[in-house]
């Protein structure tokens, strides 16, 4: 049991340390982190695409009926190459897409404001303010897509650091509690053994 707890402790410490290191990198140099992640994704897509195409070519024609592995492989390789050469552009697309969705949500709320005003419902001003905030945030995401992506990565980095630190603190606390528990068990066993020895001597 002690060996298992010790193994779990070291696994937790290693994983938590990795979280902290990744979090610091994402927090301090997010642009480098973005490029590294983009390159890794690109390489994985190229490898996966190549494997898919090779598997397609190695199988018999009868087994490839209605399978699109070759086409998917080509697409994977093409997207992977795009990641390698245009990583910042691709990463910046994520906030743009999110920004478009946020703007669309704001426009939807504007329609709700019009409907509420025409129907004579109250509190339409609150919905109007929310709609305006939606549109402004969405436009900001679209206009500053790369900065938004870097900021998001920094927030993820802060979350990783927090997770790693709290995991380490919890690990040490639980290890301390477990040690106290085992010490108490050992003390009980020793006392019981002494009592048994005394009874045996009396007999």
Rounded alpha-carbon distances, angstroms, from residue 116 to 3, 109, 135, 196: 66, 10, 19, 84
**Token match 């390789």: residue?**
77
**What does the alpha-carbon distance between residue 127 and residue 99 come to, in Å, rounded to a whole number?**
19
**What does the alpha-carbon distance between residue 100 and residue 146 come to, in Å, rounded to a whole number?**
15
C-beta of residue 41 within 8 angstroms of C-beta of residue 85: no
Q: Give the N- to C-terminal CA distance of the chain in Å, as an integer.
A: 36
Residue 78 confidence (pLDDT): 92
C-beta of residue 172 within 8 angstroms of C-beta of residue 10: no
Residue 106 confidence (pLDDT): 85
pTM: 0.56
Q: Dihedral of CA 96/98/104/105: which sign? A: negative
Query: DSSP string of 161-193?
Result: HHHHHHHHHHHHHHHHHHHHHHHHHHHHHHHHH
Residue 46 confidence (pLDDT): 93
Three-class SS of residue 87? helix
Q: Which residues of the chain have pLDDT under 50?
A: 188-189, 192-196
Residue 167 confidence (pLDDT): 81
Q: Could you read off the pLDDT of 150-168 as tens digits, one per residue?
A: 777 788 888 888 888 888 8
Residue 195 confidence (pLDDT): 43
Please give the structure tokens belonging to residue 7: 């193994």
Q: What is the dihedral of CA 86, 87, 91, 92, to 10 degrees?
A: -40
Residue 108 confidence (pLDDT): 85
Rounded alpha-carbon distances, angstroms, from residue 1 to 7, 11, 14, 194: 10, 15, 20, 25
Q: Could you read off the pLDDT of 89-112 as tens digits, one per residue?
A: 777 777 788 888 888 888 888 888
**Strands (DSSP E) found in 105-177:** none
């Amino acid at each position: 049991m002690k060996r298992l707890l010790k193994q779990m402790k070291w696994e937790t410490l290693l994983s938590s340390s990795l979280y902290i290191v990744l979090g610091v990198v994402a927090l301090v140099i997010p642009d480098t982190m973005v490029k590294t992640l983009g390159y890794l994704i690109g390489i994985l897509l190229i490898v996966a695409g190549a494997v898919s195409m090779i598997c397609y070519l190695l199988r018999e024609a009868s087994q490839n009926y209605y399978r699109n592995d070759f086409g998917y492989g080509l697409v994977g390789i093409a997207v992977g190459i795009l990641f390698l050469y245009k990583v910042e552009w691709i990463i910046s697309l994520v906030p743009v897409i999110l920004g478009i969705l946020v703007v669309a949500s704001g426009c939807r709320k504007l329609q709700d404001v019009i409907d509420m005003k025409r129907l004579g419902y109250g509190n339409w001003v609150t919905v109007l303010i929310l709609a305006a905030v939606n549109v402004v945030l969405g436009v900001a995401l679209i206009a500053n897509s790369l900065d938004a992506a870097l900021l998001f990565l920094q927030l993820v980095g802060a979350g990783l650091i927090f997770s790693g630190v709290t995991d380490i603190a919890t690990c040490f606390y639980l290890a301390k509690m477990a040690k106290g528990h085992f010490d108490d068990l050992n003390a009980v066993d020793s006392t019981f053994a002494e009592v048994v020895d005394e009874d045996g001597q009396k007999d």
